[in-house]
Structure 1
Amino acid sequence: MKKKSSFSTQGQRADIGSLVIYRVLPNRYADAVGPFVFLDHIAPKVQTKINKEGTGAHPHRGIATLSYILNGEDEHFDSAGNYALVHSGGVQWMNAGNGIIHDETLNYDSKTDSKLTHAFQFWINLPAKIKAEKPGYLAIEGRDVPFKELPDGSGWVKVIVGSFEELTSAIPTYSAQFLYHIHLEPGAAFAIELPDKVEVAAYLPTLQAIINDEEFKAGDFIEYDRTAGSIEVKNKGQEACDILLFGGEPYPEPIVAEGPFVMNSKAEVANAYRNFYNGDYGKIDYDKQRAGM
């Protein structure tokens, strides 16, 4: 049985500098999908000059940030001393744990002739016990993201988080969760069965698609019911289309989110701010981190 859509909506503009950004999650209908509590879509753009400012150094606590770079290169810095530059198709994952400061800069890919930039950032809520641990970090280049061709040249699936069939991502998980990038050629279809109680949503970043016999347009975020069933995606268009499918088991603990912090109580959020203003999260040494790459 095919799962039924609960609602669909579009993201709201939340631009940073020259980046055109659509804030897809949270929205007026949903605060989370499984452990995913945030999704920004950095829209496709031809970049004509190098971005040297980044998003600006800022704190996080209680979540893992995940940046998925479709096109371009993403430079990561944080106050734990982690640094990496990943290119088109790559992933930056950072467990903010008990507090960290980080910064990211998205530019066009220096390894190719393309000036196109296009990316996503997710926040993944952490269990309370992981929120109390030290931060962690992982960078994955595009060639190392688990990848599978679909039958008859109809497209492919990339496993950014979790597992799909024989593929498993290197991104650490602390609950049942998944994030798939599905690419379908014109006329192609993809289907997946999901168990009972799993929360799942689809996002169409650039083109329309038919999902469980309903037609959705570019920019649509669609959440589905929590009963066992299938998700079937069809591309009836003239161009190849992309779909992000993500979710997981419901987050079982209280969620209190404010600014860059996602904790389990208001007192914990207040403490997160207090620690940040006290300087407990450290500082980023940009020059030292670049020099040590």
Structure 2
Amino acid sequence: MKNRSIQHIIYAATYNMGGFPVRQPLPSAQVNNLDPFLLLHHADVKVPENVPVNKAGVGPHPHRGFSPVTFIFKGGVHHRDSRGNNNVIYAGGTQWMNAGMGIIHSERPPHDIHEIGGRQEIIQLWVNSPASEKMKQPVYYPATAEEIPHIISNDGLVTINIVSGSFNGVKGPVPASTEVNTFTAEFKAGGKHFINIPANHNAFIYLLDGKLLVNGSEVKGKYAVVFNNDGDGFELEAAEDTRLFIGSGLPLNEKIASHGPFVMNTETELLEAFRDYEMGKMGVLIED
């Protein structure tokens, strides 16, 4: 197995997103996007006890043209949208929404967030949709921790959860609209595993915490590693207990026009998205 070489090691700087501190390794100064991945946010926040739970988190907002995906590591997320979906997913689960032609959703803490620790830790990943899929009907795929298959290394030190795509013959439950693999993983100190990646995929990892040796290079928590497309995958070895995200995807190789919550192919399509949202064509979300 040939290791892919490292293209970039990127520190996830902290940004203020509407009052929420988030770490953002993608996009960054080094990498604008890693086709088909557009953005990654990592948030680990304490839910304020002086704010009603149904007013905390992220209120109703629109999307069109891509899939915003939330991977939940602590706490939970209560998803509601203008298509009538209303669901809570807790730690270890994923909420995958293909926004398609347009949808409005909110992401609040669950009603029992303070009983389960009061923290929300999530990764939100934006996965671009091809032009042929951007104006299709929106689809929402929730997956609980119990519904996401995993593999465990023979020594028990490495666990890899397969959300979408496949790994070592294990297929994830989420039917993504493009060819993407999204995995979460936990490596105990000393754990070692080779991550096979299709030759035609772009690939990266993001460390929530801990420390890994990546092809022999030391990488700490809050850093992302972007790989060149020159090998079969990459070997990871944990110097400390480490939680990480692993993503790979077939590039779309299409023009991107994006602004705020919309990702299209042309500026005209962007203007149409804003117009359609203002005209109410993406529906209405009234939270109960």
* Equivalent position of 1:270 in the other structure: 271
Deviation (angstroms), 1:34 = 3.4
Q: 1:228 aligns with which of 209, 227, 231?
A: 231
Structure 1, unmatched stretches of 5+, are 288-293
Deviation (angstroms), 1:48 = 5.3
Q: Residue 235 of structure 2 aligns to a residue in which SS?
A: strand
* Equivalent position of 1:41 in the other structure: 42
Following the alignment from structure 2 to structure 1, what is the Cα–Cα distance between the partners of residues 248 and 120?
Answer: 25
Read off the aligned partner of 2:172 and give its amino acid letter. S
Following the alignment from structure 2 to structure 1, what is the Cα–Cα distance between the partners of residues 19 and 273?
Answer: 30
Contact between 1:2 and 1:212, CA under 8 Å: does it hold in 2? Answer: yes
Q: 1:187 aligns with which of 182, 190, 193?
A: 190
Following the alignment from structure 1 to structure 2, what is the Cα–Cα distance between the partners of residues 259 and 47?
Answer: 25
Q: Give runs of aligned pairs for residues 136-155 of structure 1, distance below 5 A.
A: 136-155=139-158
Structure 2, unmatched stretches of 5+, are none
Q: Residue 42 of structure 2 aligns to a residue in which SS?
A: strand
Contact between 1:62 and 1:97, CA under 8 Å: does it hold in 2? Answer: yes
Following the alignment from structure 1 to structure 2, what is the Cα–Cα distance between the partners of residues 275 and 199?
Answer: 33
Q: Give runs of aligned pairs for residues 154-233 of structure 1, distance below 5 A.
A: 154-233=157-236
* Equivalent position of 1:126 in the other structure: 129
Cα 1:66–1:31, aligned 2, differ >3 Å: closer, same or farther? same
Deviation (angstroms), 1:173 = 2.0
| Alignment RMSD | 1.9
* Equivalent position of 2:260 in the other structure: 259
Read off the aligned partner of 2:39 and give its amino acid letter. F
Deviation (angstroms), 1:58 = 0.9
Equivalences, count: 284
| CA deviation vs aligned residue, 1:236-256 (integer Å, no higher than 9, x gap) | 22xx21121102111122111
Following the alignment from structure 1 to structure 2, what is the Cα–Cα distance between the partners of residues 231 and 62?
Answer: 31
Read off the aligned partner of 1:115 and give its amino acid letter. G
Cα 1:46–1:273, aligned 2, differ >3 Å: closer, same or farther? closer
Cα 1:51–1:12, aligned 2, differ >3 Å: closer, same or farther? farther
Following the alignment from structure 2 to structure 1, what is the Cα–Cα distance between the partners of residues 196 and 77?
Answer: 33
Contact between 1:59 and 1:260, CA under 8 Å: does it hold in 2? Answer: yes
Q: 1:96 aligns with which of 99, 105, 114?
A: 99
Q: Which moved more, 1:191-200 or 1:274-283?
A: 191-200
| CA deviation vs aligned residue, 1:69-127 (integer Å, no higher than 9, x gap) | 11101001111111101111111111111011111013586596433321111111111
Q: Which moved more, 1:170-179 or 1:153-162?
A: 170-179
Contact between 1:21 and 1:40, CA under 8 Å: does it hold in 2? Answer: yes
Q: Residue 35 of structure 2 aligns to a residue in which SS?
A: coil
